[in-house]
Structure formats: structure tokens, C-alpha cells
Structure 1
């Protein structure tokens, strides 16, 4: 995996210099690639932790954010429903650090991507041959627009959601406003900016939804944020590919931002004590081009 990580880093470094109008400008046309893209879908089914359809609990409300960018920290292809976490084909592992005291995702070195854009590209020759039915993705960060009710007016603001298992953050910027953290933050840490006003908070421990339809056969650790999804059609990698394979990881953002209601109007109004309880993605559907 060390060689694979080096290749990913090199590819990512090249991607930074590319035009945003052409996702494929830095992909070597002479070497067949596994191309991973992320997609955010507000119409995709809303699931619970067991991968079953989920409704919004009584006295809570939710909305579908508009996601501007997202980051993942781990991608794994699994052949079967009984393949244990970490024993499949690990496609990507993000940078981590102990700078905050315990092991955590290094936010400053994370890779970010927008909707239906290139996340990573690796040579197919570095991916083990096999038939893969499942994908596991450890999500780290999402940033997007939500609506907030304040003083009777509904305004749009930017929400930063740290959904990774543990996150070392030095600082980050929302619309020109800098948040200096310089510490580890657990899953569920969030920050918000609207019209120059900023605030930050922490969702309850264990409240972030992480759908895993393989809960019984392949459980995942509490708080890991490893979302599991099944390919619509089995992905076969033979080792003799002559063309790129493109995998799109489609995440459900269907009412994924959830809060407790004080005023039962379906509007998020933090000024009256309405609290964020969940920012987790609500399902994963992977698909591929071959």
C-alpha cells in the first residue's frame, strides 16, 4: 500500500495545477486508471444506521443541505457481505496525525472535491484483481449551505461538518472568516457562518448517522463514519484493463442535517435553543462505468 499511497499523492499534486473545467486533464492517458468521483444526491433514499429507510423522529426536523465540497479519509472495495472491515482492497487512506494527542484525520492535508468531480485517480494495475460488490467509505468533512431562521427572517449560511472519527484541525476558513482550533475535535464538531456571524458547536456523541446495511455480517466501530454501499452491478477488475474504470460514489444528503425542534415549524432556529443532532450522510450507492 505504500507505493499506492505515493502514487495517489503524486496524482493529487498534479491535479492541483489543473483547470477546474477539466477533471481528466492530469490523468495519464497511457495508463488505465481507477477514477473515483463523489456525488451528493438529495433525492436518494434516506437511511438509518442499519441501512434501512428512515423517517425524521418526532420533535425533530431536517433539511437537505447544498453540499459544496466533501472529503473522505478511507475507501475500500469488499468482495462479499462477510468481508471484514480492513480486509478488502484498500483503495485510499488519507493522511493522519498525532499532533493533537491521539490519532486523528489531518484536516489540513485532506483532499476535497465538489459534486461529481474527481476525488482520486490510481493506476488500475495497483488494484487487486477480483469481483467487488461493496464499497466502504470513511467520510471526514462536508461543507455546504443550510437555511436558518433568525429574527423572523430565513437566511442561508455555510455549515462545516466534521464527521470523521477524530479530526485534528489547525484552522479553516468559511467565507473569509477564520476558525482557529489547533486541537483534535471528535465526530460531530461543526461551525457555521452567515452574514459575517460565526458560531461553532458539537453534536452529541454517537448521534451521527453512518448507514451500514452489513451491520450483522460486517460491523464497523462506533464513531468510525464508515458508510457502506452495494454496487448496483458487480465491479470486476481483471488486471488486463486497457481503459479507465470510473467509480461514482453517490451519497444521500436527503434531510441529512437534523435538529431538535423548539418551535414545531420545520425551520432551524438556533437562537431559541434548537440543537444540531445529526449531520451524517444518509446512504451510499456506488456505480461504475465498465
Structure 2
């Protein structure tokens, strides 16, 4: 064998060994992903099963995207918001006046996509019973009924964070310029493949935010900190050798709700039917170690 071939073989062998060594010595991570479930129990603000309000109607949307502003793990039901282990806090800004989520810097993901990935060495050791997730942005498909009697599909962008600073954003290739803050409940809608779009603002404090431990650990009014309990505590002991993957299953069971003008169970914005609630309807966190 020629000397040059021997040298090349040694280089390839060393590179392979280094690659294997790097993989085997990689640091274990905490990974968080989202899941959307239209069949998950539909909850109210206190985490109790809930039905659609009288004179309203609702549908389970088909989710495209979601973003969270804040993620925290809490040891028990008495842990006050902010006193648990904070895993993530999105950038904020005062460019619009009051403090707000900076939408331009928000991380937006689809179902199953990694939202957060941090070394487990950065997570405080402990036994965690609850997850808290402050949701900020949703993008999903809904069905609408038009004055001409036809049904259409459209895309709705929903801002459910406490306050969001938005320059501009697009919904199905329709640009919505804002250049200011928008309170919880701001939304924008565009028909798919048709030149129709509109936007609006749901009433203050109308967005449902399930918190089963509201009696012992309340959340501020106007926030969107959805709270959910692990089936068994997630224990982080600092000796993990593999990744811990948390899946945040969100109930989208009739999560898009409007006030009916025509009592037909169809969303008809041209008839003056207004959006009243776009809140997620519960959180069930699970993990794999």
C-alpha cells in the first residue's frame, strides 16, 4: 500500500473515532415539544371540565404553529409563579410603550418540532409536579360560513400573550402592519386563496387560561400561563446520561369560540359573529427519560 493511502486511512479512522467519541460524550439535554389534541378534555380557567357557553358556538381548529413566552417547572401546587425552575423567558420590549413580548424575536414552532433545548446541567435538580407554559401566539385553520351560503377555510393568527409588540406579520400571504402593542386577544384572519382579510380584538380577560391550582398558586389577570400536572413527578437528579423529552399536549377541543348571531353552529363573520375566546383548553405534560 502506498504511503499516501496509509496516511489517508489513518485520517479517516481518527475522524471516525473522534466523531463516535463526541457523540458518546455529548451532554444530555432537556427538550420540549408541543402537541395539539382536539379530543383532550376541555377545561375552564379553574381546570374543570367546561362546555361551550350558551348563545356561543365553537370549533376545534387545525393548528399550524404556536409560540410560548415563558416556561417553568414547579415542585408543587404551593409554588408561586416565578418561584419554580424557569426554563425559558422570551425577549420583551418597550418600543410600543408598555412592556410587551417582542413578536419579531419569538420562536414559533409546529407540532413535534423542538421548541426548547437546553443542557440538563442548567436545570435545577428536584422533583417537579407541574408545568407552566405562557402561550403567546397561535396560527391555525378554521372554517367560516359566508353570506353567499358557501363554506370556506381560512387561517387565523391569535395573540394570547399578556401584551405583544408587533411590527407586521403575515397570514396566508396577507400582510398585517401594526407597529405597536396589542393586548391579549388580538387576532387577524385571511381566507385561504381568496382576497379577504380582517382583524379584531377579543374582550379583555375573555381568553381562557386553565390553571387547576389557582387557589394556591394564582396567575396574573391577562396572562396566558396554562398549568398542567405530570402523571408522576419529573425528577431531575443531575446524574442524567440521556436526554429528557417533555411533550406539552394542549387541548384544542373547541378552543375557537364565537358569539352566534345565526344559531347554526357555523362561524359567520359577515353576519357580525364576533370571536369571544381563543384560549387553549388545558395542558397535559408528559416526559420520556
| TM norm. shorter chain > 0.5 | yes
Is it true that 1:185 corresponds to 2:182 in the alignment?
yes
Among 29, 38, 44, the alignment partner of 1:42 is 38
Alignment CA distance shift 1:79-1:257 (3 Å): same
> 2:84 — aligned with what?
88
Q: Deviations over 1:170-191 (max 9, x none)?
A: 0001121111000000000000
Paired residues, number:
264
> 2:142 — aligned with what?
146
Offset at 1:28? 10
Pick the structure with greater CA Rg: 2
> 2:16 — aligned with what?
none
> 2:208 — aligned with what?
209
Q: For residues 80-229 of structure 1, what are the structure 2 equivalents within 5 Å?
A: 80-150=76-146, 151-194=148-191, 195-229=194-228
Q: Partners of 2:176 and 2:69 in 1: how far apart?
A: 22
Offset at 1:29? 6.9
Structural RMSD (CA): 1.1
> 2:8 — aligned with what?
none
Q: Partners of 1:70 and 1:43 in 2: how far apart?
A: 18
> 2:69 — aligned with what?
73
Tell me, which stretches of 5 or more residues in structure 2 are unaligned? 1-22
Tell me, which stretches of 5 or more residues in structure 1 are unaligned? 1-26
Q: Partners of 1:29 and 1:169 in 2: how far apart?
A: 42
Q: Deviations over 1:58-87 (max 9, x none)?
A: 110000000100000000000000000000
Q: Partners of 1:221 and 1:209 in 2: how far apart?
A: 13
The runs of at least 4 aligned residues of structure 1 exceeding 6 Å deviation read: none
> 2:285 — aligned with what?
286
Offset at 1:246? 0.2
Q: Partners of 1:211 and 1:237 in 2: how far apart?
A: 26
> 2:13 — aligned with what?
none
Q: Partners of 1:112 and 1:241 in 2: how far apart?
A: 28
Offset at 1:196? 2.2
Q: Partners of 1:107 and 1:62 in 2: how far apart?
A: 27
With structure 2 as the length reference, what TM-score do the two structures score?
Answer: 0.90
Residues 39, 117 of structure 1: 8 Å contact kept: no
